[in-house]
Chain A
Amino acid sequence: MPIEFKQVSHEYSPNTPFAYKALNEIDLELAEGKITAIVGATGSGKTTIVQHLNALLLPTQGEIVVVDKTIKSTEKPKNLKALRKQVGLVFQFPEYQLFEETILKDVAFGPKNFGVSEEDAQEKAKEALKMVGLDETFYERSPLDLSGGQKRRVAIAGILAMDPQVLVLDEPTAGLDPQGAKQMMGLFEMLNKKHGKTILVVTHDMEHVLDYCDEVVVVERGKIAMHVSKEEFFEDASLMVKANINPPAIIRMRTMLQEKGFAIPNTVLSLEALVKALKKGVA
């Protein structure tokens, strides 16, 4: 089931002096079973797009089809819970939503809200905690005593325990150390490859886009400026320049070498490929 935006607009506080149009008639189709990156400058509308996916925000115009449900501007969708169970949304800095006395209880909170029995919810919570790399010594601790990175993992486990088909993450690695960020992205890749989850990531980190994503959506001032495959996006450096994005190190290196006269094809997207191409050129 693809996710489809049809002519969607969203205006914040309409009919007031503070009215602000965050999305302007966007069309977007996101394929199932892929990791899609949403990139763009701050204030371009990324978060607004993401919050439409589980009907936290309703479009002021147009409609969205998500997991066989249609969210329209004209009517409030029924059965929101079913939709929210299918589309798990992890907010920016999700650690601020923890509230239960123990970590296990907090992670089991989501599934319990969706009508899962107490025991099953605990089971799911344990599974989710294992996935994010927290063992049973954490179960009975208070989520408020953890470090920032650990809190983040608990919060993400809280969404994973709901077992959503589509996982939407708003800057999941912001404020994490490079090692933690890498682990986090690795986890999402595993969920995509092994469990077939559709994953959407809002991110500023082009290295992550290059390493983990399949498709790239560029948002610019409330419009979709570009929607291309990762290869297409990184092969043509001018696309990044156009989108005002600082390319990842390896792409910058490739461009620099090309400018110095090295014959390196644009298809080079990794360090290994770059080394290979250079060796070939020297030989």
Chain B
Amino acid sequence: MKNIVLGRYIPLDSVIHKMDPRAKIIAMITLLVAIFIDTGYIGYGIIAAFILCAVFLAKLKLDFVWKALKPMLFMLCFLLVINVLVLKTGYVLVDIFGFKIYSDAIFQTLYIVIRLVLMIIITTLLTASTKPMDLTIAIEDLLSPFKVIGVPAHDIAMMISIALRFIPTLLEESQRIMKAQESRGVDLQEGSFKEKVMAILSLIVPLFVSSFQRADDLANAMEARGYNPGGKRVRYKQLKFVLRDYIMLLCVFGLVAGLIATKVTGIL
């Protein structure tokens, strides 16, 4: 469980790490939108090349990216099976005793997988290169224009930052409880169905109890220090756009604009 890479911050010293988190979030959303523009394999190739450049600039190892993608393999198999069973268009690729696999089944799957893979790499890049705290500050900043229509920007940011803060704690906690129950003879790998249900129950109930306990303690501690969600507050850390942020955003917008233009004009 220690090997979970999704959403994990990797402390490195790179250009991408130093960028303004707000710029990074805007870039991420723009790129995610771009992925949903159907630009064909060439378009996706260009986006992939762009993203890989960013991964390289962030000094992240490809190994790390691969680990983030690994859970996708299951998804890929699942999609493939569904598509093969359902899609009956295109030309027949293989014919096994009357059971036909059509070309569209394969290509559709490939298409969805490419999109998913790109999306996961982009989001992983964001979370790996941005401290969770910076991320929440950025979210709060980006949401603050919507305060006018009643979006509680600060509350949302606070909730996100608390949730992020407690992920490692809860992981540690669940590991501890798992070990404790294993000492009492719980076997999470083997045993009958009933035993397995019992094993999972013996893990979830204590985890729930302690989460509620923690939430209660945290709320009390915050109140004891005079926390008031509606209060006016200033920040120690001030975010500022600098040249590299503008350059990065310009590249991203340029890329997406180019893709849209080619799509509209029908070049690709």
Contact = CB atoms under 8 A, between A and B. Distances in A.
Contacts of B183: 54, 56, 84, 88-91, 159
Interface of A: 13, 18, 51, 54, 56, 80-81, 84-85, 88-91, 94, 96-99, 109-110, 113-114, 144, 158-159, 162
Contacts of B179: 51, 56, 91
Contact of A97 (B2, B177, B187): B177
Given A99-B201, A99-B202, A109 B180 contact: no
Interface of B: 2, 173, 176-177, 179-187, 201-202, 205-206, 209-210
A96 B182 contact: no
A268 B262 CA distance: 91
Contacts of A85: 185
Given A13-B2, A96-B177, A97-B177, A84 B206 contact: no
A110 B181 CA distance: 8
A96 B202 contact: no
Contacts of B205: 99
B26 to A, nearest CB: 29
Contact of A98 (B2, B182, B206): B206
B202 A56 contact: no
B241 to A, nearest CB: 31
A85 B185 CA distance: 7
A81 B186 CA distance: 9
Contacts of B185: 81, 84-85, 110, 113-114, 162
Nearest to A101: B205
Contacts of A88: 183
A55 to B, nearest CB: 9
B206 A96 contact: yes
Q: Which 7 pairs between the two chains have the least Cβ-Cβ distance?
A: A113-B185, A99-B205, A97-B180, A110-B184, A89-B183, A91-B180, A114-B185
Contacts of A97: 177, 180-181, 184, 202, 206
- Most chain A beta-carbon neighbours within 10 Å: one of B173, B176, B180, B184: B184
A162 B205 CA distance: 21
A85 B187 CA distance: 12
B187 A159 contact: no
